[in-house]
Amino acid sequence: MMSPPRHIAVIMDGNGRWAAERGLARHEGHQRGADAVRRIVRAARELALPTLTLYAFSAQNWARPRAEVVQLMRLLRRFALDERSELMARGIRVVTIGDARRLPRFVRAPLLALEAATATNEKMTLCLALSYGGREAIASAARGLATDVAAGRLRPAEVTEAQLELRLDTRGLPPLDLMIRTSGEQRLSNFLLWEAAYAELYFTPVLWPDFGRATLEAALADYAQRQRRFGMTGEQVVARRARG
């Protein structure tokens, strides 16, 4: 049996469709999506998962109608303000990835405060991807490498995968083991492109506002029966495991 995933990422999709199915406005879907975020964080902690990364707002989401962007920002602010005591009580550290500079101050300030307040919590890491794009993250890391090469701090031959990874904002998080996407869509949508190289992918038709502990446990059960080979043969993997 495979050891449990150390790092799970979730593409929380389907808020709009959840609302449309009920004849509700999109913002109702996002509101219920925020409730699902609270549920999954609690479930992840109870299941002793060390790291959970949530795609809360993509670099491309800025192109949505302004009213929807503002509503999502308000939900993020509310989360940062209202969840603090529960996150503290559960020993959960919050970090963010993405271009936080693009977030309005009314979101950035409470998020920074939440990150600072929870910085030494050790039971679990909740990573919120905000104004995040995988290509943007890789380009940013490449700029860092180019700057170091131009300054003579690094030789071109030293530009390795490890050196690039050191400049990604996910450095410090465990390798990504499992990527979940809800709502039946089967694509990565610019999420954790580098990190997903060997991640297991799990797609569920469940719409994000309906996601709960049971859906998470179904994903974990599916993950547990997979064999990760990392380019090796199945026989090699079995032999390695036998050797411990």
Candidate list 17, 84, 167, 213; residue touching ligand FPP; CB under 6 A: 17
Q: Which of 57, 60, 58, 71 is nearest to 25 (CA)?
A: 71
- What letter would DSSP give residue 173? S
Residues that bind ligand FPP (rule: CB under 6 A) add up to a total of 20
| Both tokens assigned to 89 | 């009580």
| Spatial distance between the Cα atoms of 96 and 112, rounded to a whole number of angstroms | 9
- According to the binding rule CB under 6 A, does residue 110 interact with ligand FPP? no
- According to the binding rule CB under 6 A, does residue 33 interact with ligand FPP? yes
Cα of 123 vs its chain's centroid, Å: 17
- According to the binding rule CB under 6 A, does residue 92 interact with ligand FPP? no
CB of 34 to ligand FPP, least distance (A): 4
Pairing of strands 7-11, 51-58: parallel
Q: Which of 14, 1, 3, 69 is nearest to 180 (CA)?
A: 14
CB of 22 to ligand FPP, least distance (A): 12
- According to the binding rule CB under 6 A, does residue 98 interact with ligand FPP? no
- According to the binding rule CB under 6 A, does residue 200 interact with ligand FPP? no
Candidate list 8, 9, 10, 16; residue touching ligand FPP; CB under 6 A: 16
**Residue with Cβ nearer ligand FPP (17 or 167):** 17
- According to the binding rule CB under 6 A, does residue 15 interact with ligand FPP? yes
CB of 4 to ligand FPP, least distance (A): 23
Which residues are paired to 200 by β-bridges? 178
Candidate list 9, 37, 94, 192; residue touching ligand FPP; CB under 6 A: 37
CB of 128 to ligand FPP, least distance (A): 6
**Residue with Cβ nearer ligand FPP (145 or 219):** 219
**Residue with Cβ nearer ligand FPP (28 or 165):** 28
7-11 sheet: strands from edge to edge? 92-97, 124-132, 51-58, 7-11, 178-181, 200-203
| Spatial distance between the Cα atoms of 110 and 82, rounded to a whole number of angstroms | 10
CB of 67 to ligand FPP, least distance (A): 13
Degrees (nearest 5) of the Cα angle 31, 33, 34?
70
10 contacts 180 by C-beta, under 8 angstroms: yes
237 contacts 227 by C-beta, under 8 angstroms: yes
Amino acid at 134: G
- According to the binding rule CB under 6 A, does residue 129 interact with ligand FPP? no
**Residue with Cβ nearer ligand FPP (7 or 77):** 77
Catalytic center residues: 13, 61
Residue ranges that bind ligand FPP, judged by CB under 6 A: 12-17, 30, 33-34, 37, 54, 56, 61, 72, 75-76, 79, 128, 183, 208
